[in-house]
Amino acid sequence: MTQTSTSNSLEISSRERLIVALDVSSSREAFSLVNELKDEVGAFKIGLQLFSAEGPAFVRELVDIGAKVFLDLKFHDIPNTVAKAAVEAARTGAWMINVHALGGREMMIRTSDDVREFCIINSIETPKLIAVTVLTSADSLTLNEIGISRDVETQVAELAKLTALSGFDGVVASPMEVQTIRQAVNDVGFLVVTPGIRQNTATKDDQKRVTTFAEAMANGSDYVVVGRPITEASDRLRAVYEILS
């Protein structure tokens, strides 16, 4: 396999780095996407929309047919609540789960400790634990509106450092901040998962900080998340091939 990222010594193919967002409202729609794409992509993301409609049982169904699932619920609450929720997320067999880094160090440490202990006791694989830095739909104006005076790049760097210190495996961030994260966190194994991927940057939908798959890989992303450019394409397989090329 060809190394496509300088951040991790483990060689992973471009296909394995591609996570398709199942931004649909029913298991029927989701299964259609998974059955069509599971041999061409690395994993599937279940977010709030699909999880609210189908629940944890559906996550287990996908895991049972061999799909890798990124459970994107962005937990953000008091440490005890998030830790318990994350343990339940791990119970589904999800490959990756996330929280909001703004929940703070205590929340992330408690979550990391509890999830890892649960997985050891139950002899199951520990999911990748990652934290959201700044949503790709946000910019510096958005941060200012909620009382954060830092610019996006600085905020992402500080939250990435906090996440690493809290024992998490990586962060979610725009591909535009990947190199900043690499400079802030001196750990080649620290994962950076990047949404906001488009076939061309002229199409942004509701995202503000976007780039292409190739640019994200060149910047050092470990995994990229793509939703509508694939799921809403008239030919989904062709859309996957075009993104990977």
- Kindly state whether residue 4 falls inside one of the protein's structural domains: no
User: With contact defined as beta carbons under 8 Å apart, do 190 and 9 qualify?
Assistant: no
Q: From CA 210, how far away is CA 204, in angstroms rounded?
A: 7
Picking from 86, 74, 6, 85, the residue whose alpha carbon sits closest to that of residue 45 is 74
Q: What is the pLDDT of residue 214?
A: 86
The predicted pLDDT at position 9 comes to 38
Instruction: Report which of residues 6 and 55 the model is more confident about.
Output: 55
| Domain-embedded: residue 92 | yes
1 assigned to some structural domain = no
The mean pLDDT of 158-183, rounded to a whole number, is: 96
Active site residue 128: no
In the numeric block, the tokens 């989701």 are attached to 30
Is 181 a member of any domain? yes
Query: How many Cα atoms are found within 13 Å in the side-chain-facing hemisphere of 120?
Result: 6
| CB-count burial class (<10 Å; 0-12, 13-18, 19+) for 2 | exposed
pLDDT of residue 6: 43
CATH number at residue 92: 3.20.20.70
pLDDT value of residue 233: 93
Q: In the predicted model, is pLDDT for residue 10 greater than 70?
A: no
Annotated active-site residue in 74, 84, 161, 204: 74
Tally of domains within the chain: 1
Q: Is residue 26 assigned to a domain?
A: yes
Do the domain assignments include residue 43? yes
Instruction: State the residue range of the domain holding 53.
Output: 14-244
Residue 60 lies inside a defined structural domain of this protein: yes
- What is the pLDDT averaged over residues 52-72? 98
pLDDT tens digits, residue range 194-245? 997 776 644 545 555 567 888 888 889 999 999 999 999 999 999 999 998 8
> How high is the pLDDT of residue 4?
39
- In tens, the pLDDT along 113-169 reads 999 999 999 999 999 999 999 998 899 999 999 999 999 999 999 999 999 999 999
pLDDT at 1 over 80: no
Q: Identify the pLDDT of residue 203.
A: 52
- Residue 5 belongs to some domain of the structure: no
Q: What is the pLDDT of residue 142?
A: 94
Residue 49 to residue 122: CA distance in whole angstroms:
29
pLDDT of residue 207: 52
The lowest-confidence range among 69-78, 97-106, 234-243 is 234-243
